[in-house]
């Protein structure tokens, strides 16, 4: 199954948090690395006043079910000190499960595809670089969705890059 995860950090050593998350996600069996996007610095969307994020998107193949993938993502967040005090507040690490093999789920604990991915340039820009032919079930091609979004708050960080997991 094709899996797409979005990584973000705006607290602490942001780049170390993203690299650590990427490494931790693939440290246990069940995920096979396919691609990782370039790193982008992005303006925060919603929530309180806070600093900019570093964001990237990871594409993988997996035989794990969506709930197990969610648990792994949340476990990685917790390992990096993620605290959920304020909705859309600053965080050391955010690992969002964006899509799992085209599965559509309206479960409040695991909505797939991610309910706002199709309207967030900070997800779609890096995703389009990691997988140019990507589509979001029920919304269409990522490239087409991007054409209708303001991308000014998403800036490439050509001086930064994530290393694929070992």
Task: Give me the active site residues, please.
Answer: 82, 91, 94, 96
Answer for the pair 137, 111: CB distance below 8 angstroms, yes or no.
Answer: no
Answer for the pair 101, 4: CB distance below 8 angstroms, yes or no.
Answer: no
Which candidate, 114, 142, 113, 111, places its Cα nearest to that of 129? 142
Which candidate, 155, 119, 141, places its Cα nearest to that of 39? 155
Alpha-carbon span 127 to 5, nearest angstrom: 9
Helices 66-79 and 14-25 sit at what angle, rounded to 10 degrees?
140
């Amino acid at each position: 199954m094709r899996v797409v995860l979005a990584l973000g950090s705006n607290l602490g050593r942001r780049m170390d948090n993203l690299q650590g998350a990427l490494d931790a996600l693939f440290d246990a069996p069940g995920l096979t690395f396919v691609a990782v996007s370039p790193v982008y610095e992005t303006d925060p969307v919603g929530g309180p006043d806070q600093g900019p994020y570093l964001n990237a998107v990871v594409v993988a193949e997996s035989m794990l079910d969506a709930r197990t993938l969610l648990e792994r993502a949340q476990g990685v967040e917790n390992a990096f000190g993620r605290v959920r005090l304020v909705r859309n507040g600053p965080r050391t690490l955010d690992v969002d499960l964006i899509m799992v093999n085209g599965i559509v789920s309206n479960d409040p604990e695991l909505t797939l595809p991610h309910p706002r991915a199709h309207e967030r340039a900070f997800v779609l820009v890096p995703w389009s670089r990691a997988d140019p032919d990507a589509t979001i079930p029920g919304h269409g091609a990522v490239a087409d969705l991007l054409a209708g979004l303001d991308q000014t708050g998403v800036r490439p960080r050509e001086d930064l890059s994530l290393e694929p997991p070992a």
